[in-house]
Amino acid sequence: SGSMVILLLLLLTHMCNLLTSVMQDGLNPDVLYPWRAKSAGLGRVKRDWIIPPIRVSENSKHVPEYLVQIKSDKVFSGEVIYKLEGPGVNQEPKNLFEIEDKTGWIKSMMPLDREKHNPQAFALSLSGERLENPTTIQIYVLDQNDNRPKFIQEEFIGYVPEFSIPGTSVLTVAALDADDPSTDNAALSYTITAQESFPRYSINKTMFGINNETGVIYTRDVGLDRDVVQSFLLTLQVADMSGLGLTSRGKAIIHIRDINNHAPQFHPDTYSMFAMENKVGEDLGRVNATDKDEQNGENWRITYSIIRGDSAGNFAIRTEPNTNEGIISVEKPLDFESRAEYRLTVRADNDVPLSVRAASEQAHTATVSIRVLNENEAPRFYRNPIEVAIPESTAPDTVLVSDIAHDPDNAKLRFEIIQDPERWLMINHETGEIRARKAFNIRSPYVRNNKYMAVVKVTDLGVSARASLVITLWETNDFPPVLVPLSGTVCRDRTSDLTQMGLLLSAMDQDLTPHADPFTFALADADIAANWTVIPLNETHAVLQPLIDIHWGEFFVPITVSDSGSPARSSSALVNVTVCPCDRAGGCTTMAAAAIFGARVGISFIALIIITASATLLLLLLLLAMAVRGCTSHSVRKGGGLLVCESDDDVRDNVFNYNEQGGGEEDEDAFNIDLLRSRSDMVPFPETFNQPGSGLPKRKQPLRKDAPYDLPSPRYPRKPPADPTNIEDFINDGLDIADNDPNVPPYDTALIYDYEGDGSLAGSLSSIASIGSDEDQDYDYLNDWGPRFKKLANMYEPLIQILSCLSNHIHTTVML
């Protein structure tokens, strides 16, 4: 308080001196300013207002308070008006300061907070003319300790590893003060006023300290064991004026961070489990190890391993993440016959290595006994696929393979072949020995790339296994090559260079490489080597040509061809070579070949031509006779003009042909059933079907158009029974068959009677009975009257149709 009084006295003294200086100066006084660096010497310049900074106490209750008075020194006879503007006046924060426009007194209008304000003051005439340049007035508010320091967080949280040594930094706390930081009003000091442990009262000594100036919290003592205490709650205090002023409180929570200072321990340390034979991936059981470190933390996680008793890797162990237990499972199939029990040593370790501050604890182990349970195992093949390589000429009943499978349980096995498309194999059902049933054929469609596939099955008490049998067939030299061609011509011309080189020979072999080509061609008879030679062209062809100028004619040359198999096979053949004169194209002339052939059989060339022409003429006459007979086989009746084949089996409604029934009939006009037929009512058949000795079956009767001819004909009883008592059954069977005959019209159909007998009222039809009487008339229009007049139109067809039929038959016969 004494310093505040001194500051106020100094301020009042300064203001009084300033006011006295202003009143004593005249208008427009010349003021001598101090020397400036840029001026050449001293000079007189116009003087403006020079007002020192004004200091005002913060939060002063004496308002309004006069701060300073200003006056203008400019010569002016009128009244001077003073103005004040800027921050604190007409700019934010407004209305803090005012100026009396008549006297120039500047005063504060309300208590001021610690800030710096720079308003501008200037003098004006009544007309508004500025009499002075504006001058900035600096007003400083002197700070008072009116703000408490505050922590930047309501709660500070820190972590420290357990067993940390004293002096270990934990965290830093901080606070802020709104007072002037250049004064003691903002000088802060930090302290810890209280300490509380969790669980409560687990530690009674002071474990943490704080740096008063920086706010750094650190450890003060040993004994931070997380097994004993998990966290601390510290009560903090901050004070300004270096700890003597205003204070505030805060909190800091410090957690003890766990370190891996405990090794896992098994509880219990012996376990017993069972495993099924041949079951892979099955979980057998669990082992349990505990860790005293923080649960679910990184130091609590356990990794299990099998360190002894499983060198083959039959088992595996993994960690269950929620319970930290170890789960043992089967990794590979177990064989009861090989090993019935396993004794494993399991070790538990943390994922994080043990800390150097941990006690000297060794990793703990447990013993796990696993017994294997026996089950009926499937038989096993020694190898799959079973591969056998044999020659294709392997004889039947040859043993191909044996001892192909076994049973782990030493049970009795049964073998069978379930796939053998060519049925080449047979198997002993008890021993599994496979033999050849018959000879192999490498050209079978089931042999691909010289491999034949079969499938073998072995069964043991309902449990079975399969294996593929792959038989590789070796190609053997089974067939000799065949020479082609066996005949040919070679032309020679003594007067020109048109002579052929010879006859091109080749060979075919049913075997495959390497038992086929290249072929070797040679003369089979050494006696003819003086006249003929065989020249190889490539691996499959050779040329047979004469060595001397031989005469025209036909020669038989024996040739031998051999393949390249091992052993090689060969065949011989006589090649018929005709030597003839050459034509312009370099081949044999036709007439020359015919002459050579005629000379060979003893017939002249002219006689051969005559015989050929006679045979051709005879063939043409025979074809013509057959065509004429085919056309005339149809009956042509006078006045009919209708080509219809006769049939004794024709049936029209209820009219039957009873052949010869005796004489005595008054009506002796024969009923001509042919007039009732037409081509459209019948299915045509060739005439040769009725020819005796033709070798063809007798043709069927023409079918009615109004009955479905695609149904089978009923089978009527051929003859009455010998026993008179069965005559009733015979008649009933015939009636049933007749009723079901599809070729007989039903009783409810309209029956059309084509023949009504003599005495017809229409007597004018006799005028159209002759073709010759109406040759100049055209009756084609009858075809347009419908099907009922088609028969009438056919009766007047021109005779040219007969000739057309004959021509067609001849043409067809020639084409055949």
pLDDT tier, 771 (very low <50, low <70, confident <90, very high otherwise) = very low
Q: Are 354 and 260 in contact (CB under 8 A)?
A: yes
Instruction: Return d(Cα 177, Cα 149) in angstroms, integer.
Output: 4
pLDDT at residue 494 greater than cutoff 80: no
pLDDT, mean of residues 325-334: 94
> Which residue type does 702 have?
P
pLDDT of residue 625: 81
pLDDT at residue 284 greater than cutoff 80: yes
For the chain, give the mean pLDDT: 75
pLDDT, mean of residues 670-686: 46
pLDDT of residue 28: 34
Query: Which residues contact residue 458 at a Cβ distance below 8 angstroms, ignoring those fewer than 6 apart?
Result: 379, 381, 404, 405, 413, 414, 415, 416, 432, 464, 465, 466, 467
Smallest CA-to-CA distance from 181 within 153, 210, 149, 151 is with 149
pLDDT, mean of residues 367-388: 91
Tens of pLDDT, residues 285-326: 999 999 888 888 888 999 999 999 999 999 999 999 999 999
| 406 compared with 664, residue with greater pLDDT | 406
Q: Are 672 and 640 in contact (CB under 8 A)?
A: no
pLDDT of residue 616: 87
| 72 compared with 723, residue with greater pLDDT | 72
Q: Give me the residue label for tokens 């308070």.
A: 65
pLDDT, mean of residues 768-784: 53
| 632 compared with 576, residue with greater pLDDT | 576
pLDDT, mean of residues 7-28: 48
pLDDT at residue 403 greater than cutoff 70: yes
pLDDT of residue 246: 92
pLDDT of residue 754: 52
Instruction: Return d(Cα 782, Cα 777) in angstroms, integer.
Output: 12
pLDDT at residue 714 greater than cutoff 80: no
pLDDT of residue 495: 58
CA distances (Å), origin 506, targets 171, 524, 738? 105, 16, 71
pLDDT tier, 737 (very low <50, low <70, confident <90, very high otherwise) = confident
> Which residue type does 667 have?
D
For β-strands 216-219 and 139-142, DSSP reports them as unpaired
pLDDT of residue 758: 53
Is 425 strand, coil or helix? strand
pLDDT of residue 452: 95
| 775 compared with 481, residue with greater pLDDT | 481
| 61 compared with 719, residue with greater pLDDT | 61
pLDDT of residue 369: 96
pLDDT of residue 402: 93
Instruction: Return d(Cα 354, Cα 349) in angstroms, integer.
Output: 9
Query: Which residues contact residue 371 at a Cβ distance below 8 angstroms, ignoring those fewer than 6 apart?
Result: 272, 273, 274, 275, 340, 341
pLDDT of residue 802: 55
pLDDT at residue 755 greater than cutoff 60: no
pLDDT at residue 187 greater than cutoff 80: yes
| 25 compared with 658, residue with greater pLDDT | 658
Q: Which helix (H) or strand (E) holds 609?
A: helix 605-632
pLDDT tier, 606 (very low <50, low <70, confident <90, very high otherwise) = low
pLDDT at residue 198 greater than cutoff 50: yes
Tens of pLDDT, residues 410-449: 888 999 999 999 999 999 999 999 999 999 988 899 999 9
pLDDT, mean of residues 520-546: 90
Smallest CA-to-CA distance from 225 within 154, 160, 142, 314 is with 160
Q: Which of 128-137, 201-210, 494-503 has the lowest mean pLDDT?
A: 494-503
pLDDT of residue 726: 64
pLDDT of residue 814: 45
pLDDT tier, 732 (very low <50, low <70, confident <90, very high otherwise) = confident
pLDDT tier, 725 (very low <50, low <70, confident <90, very high otherwise) = low
Instruction: Return d(Cα 745, Cα 705) in angstroms, integer.
Output: 11
| 89 compared with 504, residue with greater pLDDT | 504
Q: Which of 61-65, 433-437, 456-460 has the lowest mean pLDDT?
A: 61-65
pLDDT, mean of residues 469-481: 88
pLDDT of residue 115: 59
pLDDT at residue 650 greater than cutoff 50: no
Q: What φ, ψ does residue 110 adopt, rounded to 5°?
A: -155, 165
Percent of the chain with pLDDT over 70: 64
Q: Are 179 and 94 in contact (CB under 8 A)?
A: no
pLDDT of residue 164: 92
| 541 compared with 90, residue with greater pLDDT | 541
pLDDT at residue 260 greater than cutoff 80: yes
Which residue segments constitute the domains of the chain, with CATH numbers given?
A: 2-142 (2.60.40.60), 150-257 (2.60.40.60), 265-373 (2.60.40.60), 380-474 (2.60.40.60), 482-602 (2.60.40.60)
Q: Which of 55-69, 172-186, 204-218, 390-404 has the lowest mean pLDDT?
A: 55-69
Instruction: Return d(Cα 396, Cα 417) in angstroms, integer.
Output: 17
pLDDT tier, 71 (very low <50, low <70, confident <90, very high otherwise) = confident
Q: Are 96 and 106 in contact (CB under 8 A)?
A: no
| Sign, CA torsion 387/391/397/398 | negative
pLDDT of residue 669: 52
pLDDT at residue 751 greater than cutoff 60: no
pLDDT of residue 15: 57
pLDDT at residue 244 greater than cutoff 60: yes
Q: Are 99 and 105 in contact (CB under 8 A)?
A: yes
Q: Are 286 and 268 in contact (CB under 8 A)?
A: no
| 75 compared with 423, residue with greater pLDDT | 423
